Amino acid sequence: MMLIQARARGPEKARMWSRWVSLVAIAAVGCGGPAYQAAKNGTAGTGGTAGAGGAGGSTPERDAAAGDTGEPRRPNVLVLLTDDQRADTVHALGNSLIHTPTMDRLVRAGTSFTQASCQGGIVGAVCVTSRASLMTGRTINHLQGAGDIIPPEHTTLPELLRKAGYFTFATGKWHNDRAAWIRSFDYGDNIFFGAMHFPSDGGHEHPLLFHFDPTGNYPYEAMFHGDRFSSVMYADAAVDFIQNLPAGSAPFFAYVAFTAPHDPRTPPPPYDTMYDPAQIPLPDNFLPEHPFDDGEIHNRDEDLLGIPRDPEDVKREIAAYYGMISEVDEQMGRVVDAVEARGLLDNTVIVFAADNGLAIGSHGLLGKQNVYDCSVRVPMIVAGPGIAANATSDRYVYLADVLATVASLLGLGPPASSEGTAVLGAGAGTIRSVAYHQYAGLHRGIRTADHWKLIGYRLTDGPQFDRLQLFDLDVDPDEINDLSAATEHQSKLTELQSVLASQRALYEDPLLGN
């Protein structure tokens, strides 16, 4: 049901510009920080304040260099986040079927982390946990609850940058509490506070959004239905923000959180017919149903198709999913182009990632409520000044590492609450050799440096795992052949059970058992 009519495009844009200018003025009075003063005065930031993390923050030299001397200054940061995008859906990273020219451009421009992942989910809404982890750099069991609320003591990346003099902007999905959004961002537009664009709420075609509210109240009555596809609404807001940046303003942090390719998978033309379901191959690990009840066989995501899965239905879902990805790729491209058009591309760090993957036919599953690679691995590319171009890394990087990595690239110290590892820049640390994943109270998994994977399923109330799966990812990257019962692999199984126990202890799994 359309609750509120979409607003006209022209007046909306004019209103945005006036709000942005007003906000800069309000913020300048309220904070007096160099970013706001610089934005207000139309000059680059000077004076400087220490970064929130102290070490590595602004220095007089750095800030002097940020003046009108033509010298390089601290880079802008653009985060492009997609929703439920599997790691294997980028053309330049090996998917010959899919069309992703913008993601491919980022692959060529930066470093792709081909084994990046979220750590999993506390509840079915995996997005909540993964986004809280991305924003705060905290590991899965060190969030508040499932991450629904990001408490003030968990400093977010935009909070860190705000304190370092950045002007922070957001558009798109925020699946955590509004107070954390308000703490994090100076400005935003076409803001979606929610989980997904339910068809009954207008779907992707008419997403329920907010304009920026300087009072921070965001009353229900202010919500409006967008009149363009969700990705277009978010790209429009980001492009407008970038195009209207005052000349010489403070560096910006822009968080563009698309809701595609999350279902409902309803790509608009021409993306709705871009992929012919008849030409879509089933994934190698397709199954009509999961080999056993993993405790999560029925939930909203899994019930989108009946069991057993009909191969033709799965092909149609994948075709629509790919259409959604190509559509959001085009909108991402508009944002990158806007940065380039302002002459800022050479001094902007771009992070592209997704919050989690999706099974969509793999293993007989459709959703992300599991710890198979299809669901925990995500695309992650970082491009920008000083970052190796057209490079790949197969290290086990988490979304929780993004905060420390961006801070490292900017010469900032991460906040004390961050637990991630910087994987690029001057502050880069040693990247872990084991990746740990968990889902709710049910699934626990590890991937090891020698490319083995162990998953434990806790399907009863006892402390022990009721079922194990062992995969040799070198020869079986699709996790098809469970070797846990193979006689020749019992020593490996025992070894990995010990590693899994150590990882559960390291990340303080609240369900510690075996």
The helix/strand/coil state of 472 is strand
Helices (H) and strands (E) in the chain, counts: 12, 15
**Cβ proximity to Ca ion, 85 vs 348, nearer residue:** 85
Structure tokens at 38: 């610089």
Q: Choose between 84 and 189: whose C-beta lies nearer to Ca ion.
A: 84
The residue among 126 and 319 lying less far from Ca ion, judged by its C-beta, is: 126
Q: Contact residues for Ca ion (CB under 5 A)?
A: 83-84, 127, 355-356
What Å distances lie between residue 318 and 30, 92, 329, CA to CA? 49, 19, 16
**Separation of CA 219 from chain center:** 27
**Nearest distance in Å: CB 400, Ca ion:** 15
Q: Closest Cα partner for 484 from 231, 292, 230? A: 292
Q: What 3-state DSSP class applies to 251?
A: coil
Q: Which residue, 263 or 355, is less far from Ca ion as judged by CB?
A: 355
Q: Give the nearest distance from C-beta 258 to Ca ion in angstroms.
A: 10
Closest listed residue to residue 504, CA positions, set 462, 444, 463, 421:
444
DSSP H or E stretch at residue 238: helix 230-243
- The label of the residue with tokens 């955590």 reads 176
Q: How far is the CB of 63 from Ca ion (least distance, A)?
A: 38
Spacing of C-alpha 123 from chain mean position: 17
Of 68, 300, 306, 348, which Cα lies nearest the Cα of 198? 300
* Residue 226 C-beta: closest distance to Ca ion, Å: 19
- Nearest Cα to Cα of residue 356 among 18, 29, 61, 89: 89
* Of 12 and 83, CB closest to Ca ion: 83
Give the nearest distance from C-beta 121 to Ca ion in angstroms: 9
How many angstroms separate the CA atoms of 256 and 332, rounded? 9
Residue number with CB closer to Ca ion (196 or 239): 196
Instruction: Give the residue at shortest CB distance from Ca ion.
Output: 127
Nearer to Ca ion, 90 or 127 (CB): 127
Strand order in the sheet with 467-472: 120-121, 435-439, 443-447, 452-457, 467-472
74/443 with CB nearer Ca ion: 443
Q: Please, what is the minimum distance in Å from the beta carbon of residue 332 to Ca ion? A: 16
Query: For Ca ion, which is the closer residue by CB, 177 or 495?
Result: 177
Minimum distance of Ca ion from residue 84's CB (angstroms): 4
- Shortest Å distance, C-beta 313 to Ca ion: 22
Q: Find the shortest distance in angstroms from Cβ 355 to Ca ion.
A: 4
* CB 42, min distance to Ca ion, A: 39
Strand 443-447 to 435-439 pairing: antiparallel
Closer by beta carbon to Ca ion, 88 or else 355: 355
Q: How far apart are CA 304 and CA 3, in angstroms?
A: 26
- The whole-angstrom separation of Cα 204 and Cα 232 is 10
| 43 vs 356, beta carbon nearer Ca ion | 356
Sheet holding 76-82, edge to edge: 187-193, 167-174, 252-257, 76-82, 348-354, 380-383, 111-113, 391-393
Two tokens, residue 323: 């259409």
- Map tokens 């190698």 to a residue: 284
Please report how the helices 402-410 and 126-136 are oriented relative to each other, as an axis angle in degrees rounded to 10.
20
Peptide bond into 264 cis (omega under 30): yes
Shortest Å distance, C-beta 4 to Ca ion? 26
Q: Give CA–CA dist 437/453, Å, rounded.
A: 11
- Residue pair 80/378 in contact (Cβ under 8 Å)? The answer is no
Minimum CB–partner distance for residue 288 and Ca ion (Å): 25
Q: Rounded distance, CA 237 to CA 171, Å?
A: 7
Q: Six-digit token pair at 465?
A: 């795992």
- Measured from the CB atom, the residue of 84 and 373 that comes closer to Ca ion is 84
